[in-house]
Every structure is written in structure tokens, then in C-alpha cells.
């Protein structure tokens, strides 16, 4: 059996009784045609089930209809949470009829390069630093881009981010209200992001401020890549025996719970944990975590939508959205067994 022949615009022209060029104008919108002629062409398109070839559309419009998502990562930093962000981006691009190209490249020149070569129409950046070289290069090139996160200067740039400062303050206040007087923040520092990584800097600043305001002793640990977190947290907790609670960012809750088990410290009887994490992860963890929910799917979706809206009409003010997370009290936070009466000095573990 011979394969079914693809419908061409010549077939549409024959069915509608018009010239091929008229069909081309109707499909591309490059030239106005009468309402009666357009109606005949549209009827022929429907009857023949004509679907314009994607490559042909791209060549005609000089658009790839593709968004490039940049998540600079390695095998040590690709975590479940990152795929949740990706799901949100994919939902938005699919709905808009856009393809999605995902890159884990660390090369700051690549986002602008992919757009310049026509591989993608725009770039959406993740793991944003306060002074991000990718942002600087894209600004200089004049190419359209957006952020999941935000940098120090966000003028004219569409972005969506999570209010990490508010999340840290809410988590710390919950632990302080339970009676904890010595609390740690287990922060996250992705590879090659240095101390300029936005969420890490903002979380640390908020934690120091709330420790002063509420009068508890604060410890800060900047965790590196996943394979080394267990050892870092183990050494850290052994050095602060009076610490009775921790706030964790991203997946740092997992090695913390393992360390506590190995140290014979029961959660939450001996140690409380509040995690800033996506609710999809909270649902599959045991014991049920006390969390500040980070809406990763929504961040991905809104970030992509803001960029596509900006791409469609650059003259409009770009969308800039800050999302917030709710406190969900689970089985990992409780009053400490014996709160220390000693006032401890705020320290900073580097």
C-alpha cells in the first residue's frame, strides 16, 4: 500500500479555485485578500486537512518557534526539583505551539548565540546570579530573554521568582515560636555559581536579619554539590551540639535527615526541620516534612508565559512576578526537648 501523499498549497489552490500565490498570501498574511476568497481557501484547508510544514513556516516567518531553557548543571546538580520547573516551562511552550530546547551549558555566550543562529527565538535562564554574565551578554546583543529568578538589575526583563526572604523569615519564626533558640540554615550553592547565586544570597541575608530580630543564635552552612553534603552536614552538626533545628533549601533536607539518624537524633523529638521545597517532593517524603512550599511548576509556567508575551509585544512592560509559599506543618517540627537558657552568639559557618 502506497503512503498517503501530503497535501500541498497547489491542492488547496485547485480546490478553492484560486492561484497558488493567493493561497500563499492567505496562509502567510503577507498580503490582504477579499473575505470571500479567504473563506474559500479556509474551507479548502479544512476539507483537505492541510497542515503547513513546520520547517516551511519557520523559513517563511524567520522564526524557529522554539524557546531555549538554560539550566547550567552537572550530574551532581540535576535534581528532581529541576524537572518540576521544566514541567511548568514545557506546559507553557506546548500550549503556545513552541518547541523547547533544554541546555545545561555553563558557557555564558551560548544563550545569545543560539538566538543569533536562529536555533531559538528566545532564551529563558535559570540558576540566575545577581550579576549574571549571560544576562549582560543578552542585553548587549538585544536578543529576547527572560528569567526564572532575578538579578540585581531587572529593568526591561520579564521574570518570575520565589520570595526566598519571606520563606526564610516564616520558617525561622515558626521554629522560634516553638521554642528553638539555636537554629541553622542549610543553604545551597550550585556549582560555578559562587557567592553571587541569588537565592543563596537572599536567604542568607534574610536569615541573619530574622535571627537578630527574634533573638536566636543562627548558624549558616553553604552546602556544595550533593555527593559532599552528607559529610559537610555531619561535621557541621557535630560542631554545634546545642543546635536543635534547621531550615533547609532544596534537597539539603535529605542528607540532613540521614545525618540525624546516624547521630541517633530523632526528628522532631531531638531536632526539628523546616524545608523550602516543591510540594511535589513534600508529598513523597517520609516523615512528612514541615515545609514552605516552593511552587516550582507555576514558576516554570509563568516564566515561560512572561517571556512569550514579551516576545509577542516587546513594547509592553515586561511581566515581573514574585511568588510566595505557604507554611505546611508536618511531622518534622516540634518544641525542643530542653531549650538552652544560654544566650548564644550569632555565627556564620563559611
User: Tens digits of per-residue pLDDT, 83-107?
Assistant: 899 999 999 999 998 899 999 888 9
User: Tens digits of per-residue pLDDT, 189-216?
Assistant: 766 556 689 999 999 999 999 999 999 9
- 186-195, 242-251, 299-308, range with the lowest pLDDT: 186-195
The predicted model gives 271-286 an average pLDDT of 92
- pLDDT attached to residue 2: 47
Domain boundaries, the chain: 9-52, 66-162+297-324, 164-295
Is the per-residue pLDDT at 158 higher than 50? yes
Q: State the Cα–Cα distance between residues 184 and 259, nearest whole angstrom.
A: 14
Instruction: Give the alpha-carbon dihedral of 266, 269, 272, 275, to 10 degrees.
Output: 70
- Whether 164-295 and 66-162+297-324 are alike in CATH topology: the answer is yes
The predicted model gives 134-157 an average pLDDT of 95
- pLDDT attached to residue 238: 94
Q: State the Cα–Cα distance between residues 206 and 25, nearest whole angstrom.
A: 58
- pLDDT attached to residue 54: 47
User: Tens digits of per-residue pLDDT, 310-329?
Assistant: 998 988 999 999 999 999 99
Is the per-residue pLDDT at 345 higher than 50? no
Q: 101 φ, ψ to 5°?
A: -110, 125
Quick check: 77 and 190 in contact, CB under 8 A? Answer: yes
Q: State the Cα–Cα distance between residues 105 and 87, nearest whole angstrom.
A: 19
How would you class 339 by CB atoms within 10 Å of its CB: exposed for 0-12, middle for 13-18, buried for 19 or more?
Answer: middle
Is the per-residue pLDDT at 50 higher than 90? no
> pLDDT-based confidence at 29, cuts 50/70/90?
low
Rg from Cα positions in the chain: 26
Quote the pTM value: 0.78
Average pLDDT, the chain: 86
> Between residues 305 and 227, which one has the greater pLDDT?
305
What's domain 9-52's architecture?
Orthogonal Bundle (1.10)
CATH of 164-295, one of 3.40.190.10, 3.50.50.60, 3.40.50.2300, 3.40.718.10: 3.40.50.2300
* CATH top class, domain 66-162+297-324: alpha beta
Amino acid at each position: 500500500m502506497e503512503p498517503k501523499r501530503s497535501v500541498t498549497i497547489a491542492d488547496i489552490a485547485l480546490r478553492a479555485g484560486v492561484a497558488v500565490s493567493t493561497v500563499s498570501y492567505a496562509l502567510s498574511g503577507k498580503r490582504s485578500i477579499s473575505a470571500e476568497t479567504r473563506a474559500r481557501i479556509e474551507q479548502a484547508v479544512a476539507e483537505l486537512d492541510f497542515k503547513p510544514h513546520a520547517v516551511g513556516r519557520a523559513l517563511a516567518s524567520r522564526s524557529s518557534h522554539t524557546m531555549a531553557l538554560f539550566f547550567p548543571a552537572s550530574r551532581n546538580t540535576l535534581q528532581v526539583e529541576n524537572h518540576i520547573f521544566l514541567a511548568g516551562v514545557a506546559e507553557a511552550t506546548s500550549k503556545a505551539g513552541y518547541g523547547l530546547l533544554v541546555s545545561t551549558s555553563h558557557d555564558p555566550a551560548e544563550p545569545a548565540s543560539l538566538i543569533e543562529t536562529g536555533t531559538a527565538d528566545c532564551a529563558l535562564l535559570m540558576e540566575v546570579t545577581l550579576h549574571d554574565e549571560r544576562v549582560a551578554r543578552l542585553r548587549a546583543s538585544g536578543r529576547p530573554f527572560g528569567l526564572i529568578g532575578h538579578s540585581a538589575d531587572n529593568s526591561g526583563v520579564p521574570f518570575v521568582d520565589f520570595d526566598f526572604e519571606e520563606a526564610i523569615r516564616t520558617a525561622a519564626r515558626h521554629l522560634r515560636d516553638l521554642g528553638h533558640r539555636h537554629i541553622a540554615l542549610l543553604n545551597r550553592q550550585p556549582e560555578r555559581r559562587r557567592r553571587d547565586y541569588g537565592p543563596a544570597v537572599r536567604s542568607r541575608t534574610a536569615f541573619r536579619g530574622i535571627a537578630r530580630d527574634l533573638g536566636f543564635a543562627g548558624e549558616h552552612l553553604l552546602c556544595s554539590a550533593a555527593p559532599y553534603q552528607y559529610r559537610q552536614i555531619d561535621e557541621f552538626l557535630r560542631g554545634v551540639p546545642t543546635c536543635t533545628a534547621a531550615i533547609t533549601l532544596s534537597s539539603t533536607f535529605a542528607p540532613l535527615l540521614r545525618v540525624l539518624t546516624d547521630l541517633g537524633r530523632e526528628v522532631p523529638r531531638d531536632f526539628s526541620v523546616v524545608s523550602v521545597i516543591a510540594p511535589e517532593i513534600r508529598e513523597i517524603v517520609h516523615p512528612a516534612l514541615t515545609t514552605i512550599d516552593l511552587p516550582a511548576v507555576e514558576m516554570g509556567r509563568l516564566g515561560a508565559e512572561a517571556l512569550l508575551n514579551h516576545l509577542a509585544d516587546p513594547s509592553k512592560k515586561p511581566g515581573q512576578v514574585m511568588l510566595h509559599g505557604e507554611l505546611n506543618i508536618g511531622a518534622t517540627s516540634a518544641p525542643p526537648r530542653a531549650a538552652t537558657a544560654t544566650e548564644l552568639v550569632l555565627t556564620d559557618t563559611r
